[in-house]
Structure 1
Amino acid sequence: MDDDWLQRWREGRIGFHRDRPHPALVRHWPGLEVRAGTKVLVPLCGKSLDMRWLARQDHPVLGIELAEQAIEEFVAEGVGEVTRYRQDGFDICRQGSVELWRGDFFHFHIEQAAEIGAFYDRAALIALPEATRQRYAFHLAQLVPPGARGLLISLTRDPGGPPFSVSANEVRRLFAPNFRVTHLEDGEPEPNGFRESVWALERRGPLT
């Protein structure tokens, strides 16, 4: 999957990238009531403009992305000074209140996520093959504290991928052990056969 992802960026095969914030994010994020100033984790973030939208809502953003090209394009298309440094095996690039960590999401650990209080996944779960999605859901649960809220956008499609089809039953099976899972909406079927679903997640566990 990693090689295919990098190859897509090298060849410009990034039809998944949107040129504006995702309307479901704009519609549903306020309903999560995530406090201003809460840092939002965005796994497999690409160069998503959703991160800039979250930053405009007064959220620091921490995106994790494997493809260096995605990160470089994100900052090149943005405004403001870029700061670069290395930490815990990740090359980090910061522009404004968005910081991008280049590396493997599964190598990002709880010690690095101490300030994370919310999350947003539009393209991570559906980018992973079935055998890896369980690992992803468990790892995400380890990174966010009890009470942390997030938005997940999944999709169903004809066989193939990535992006991969993830059914409503699979979303519940993957996340219900560690999150309260609330289905928010199903989008209209698209001409390519894709149909998105939107979910609110809240990390279970005792609040401190």
Structure 2
Amino acid sequence: MSNEWLDRWKEGRIGFHRDTTHPALAHYWPTLGVAQAGKVLVPLCGKSLDMRWLAERGHPVLGIELAREAVEQFVAEGRGAVSRFRQNVFDVYRQGSVEVWCGDFFHFHIDQALEVQAFYDRAALIALPPATRQRYAFHLTQLLPPGARGLLVSLTHGGGPAQGPPYSVEAGEVERLFAANFELERLTETPPDERGWREQVWSLGRRGPGR
């Protein structure tokens, strides 16, 4: 997956990138009750404008992205000075209240996520092949403290398991991956678009010990 993802950014094959804020974020984020100053983790963030939407509402944002092209484009297309520094194996780009850590999400450790109170996954889970999704769900669980809340946008498109990214992730798989550690609610499902793709929006709340 990593090589294909990097190739897509190098070649400009980024049809998955939205030029506007995702409507589900604007609609459902206020219902989560995340504290205004709560830091939001955005895995596999690309150059998503959703990060700026979150920042404009008072949230410090911590995005993680493997493709340097995506990170460079994000800060180039934004406003304000950019500071760059090294944090362990990551190159960190800070612009305003958004930090994007350039590197492998699976190398991001809990001691680097101590202030995270929420998360937003618009295109991380569906960017990963089946064999990696369990690892992703486990790692995300380890990074989030009890009580953390977030939104996850999944996708089904009727293709085979090898067709992607984005990959088709059925509702049953989302439940298998997350229900043991999160309060999980499917908020909505869009009608199929012209390609037959449907998006599902989920609310997740990290369970505490014994729950």
Alignment TM class, shorter chain as reference: over 0.9
Structure 2 partner of 1:192: 195
> Partners in 2 of 1:151 and 1:188 — Cα distance?
19
Q: For residue 54 of structure 1, what is the amino acid of its counterpart?
A: L
* Residue 110 (structure 1) aligns with: 110
Name the counterpart of 1:91. Answer: 91
Question: Counterpart in 1 of 2:34?
Answer: 34
Equivalence for 2:20: 20
In 2, the alpha carbon distance for the partners of 1:46 and 1:132 equals: 18
CA distance in 1, matches of 2:175, 2:45: 22
- Once the two structures are aligned, what percentage of the paired residues are identical? 68
Superposed CA RMSD in Å reads 0.9
Offset of 1:158 from its aligned partner?
2.4
Task: Measure, in 1, the Cα distance between the counterparts of 2:23 and 2:16.
Answer: 14
- The aligned residue for residue 124 of structure 2 is 124
Matching residue's letter, 2:141 = A
Secondary structure of the corresponding residue to residue 177 of structure 2: helix
- Map of 2:146 onto structure 1: 146
In structure 2, C-alpha distance between the alignment counterparts of 1:134 and 1:206, rounded to whole Å: 21
Structure 1 unaligned runs (5+)? Answer: none
Task: Give the counterpart letter for 2:127 in structure 1.
Answer: A
Distance 1:50 1:102 in 2: 17
Deviations 1:97-148 (A, max 9, x none): 0000000000001011111110000000000001110110010000000000
> C-alpha offsets along residues 151-202 of structure 1, whole Å, 9 cap, x if unaligned?
0000000211110000010000000011110110001211122100000000
2:66 corresponds in structure 1 to 66
State the SS of the aligned residue for 2:111. Answer: helix
Task: Give the TM-score, by structure 1 length.
Answer: 0.98
Q: 1:188 & 1:115 partners in 2: Cα distance?
A: 37
Stretches (4+) displaced over 3 A: none
The reply on whether 1:182 has 2:180 as its aligned counterpart is: no
The total of aligned residue pairs comes to 207
Match for residue 176 of structure 2 among 148, 152, 173: 173
Q: Separation in 2 of the partners of 1:22 and 1:131?
A: 27
Q: Secondary structure at the match of 2:194?
A: coil
Classify the secondary structure of the residue corresponding to 1:188.
coil
- What is the distance in 2 between the residues matched to 1:195 and 1:131? 22
DSSP 3-state at the match of 1:165: coil
Q: In 1, distance between residues paired with 2:191 and 2:88?
A: 42
TM-score normalised by the chain length of structure 2: 0.97
Offset of 1:206 from its aligned partner? 4.1
Q: 2:101 is paired with a residue of what secondary structure?
A: strand
- Once the two structures are TM-superposed, the CA of residue 11 in structure 1 deviates from its matched residue by 0.8
Displacement after TM superposition at 1:88 (Å) = 1.3
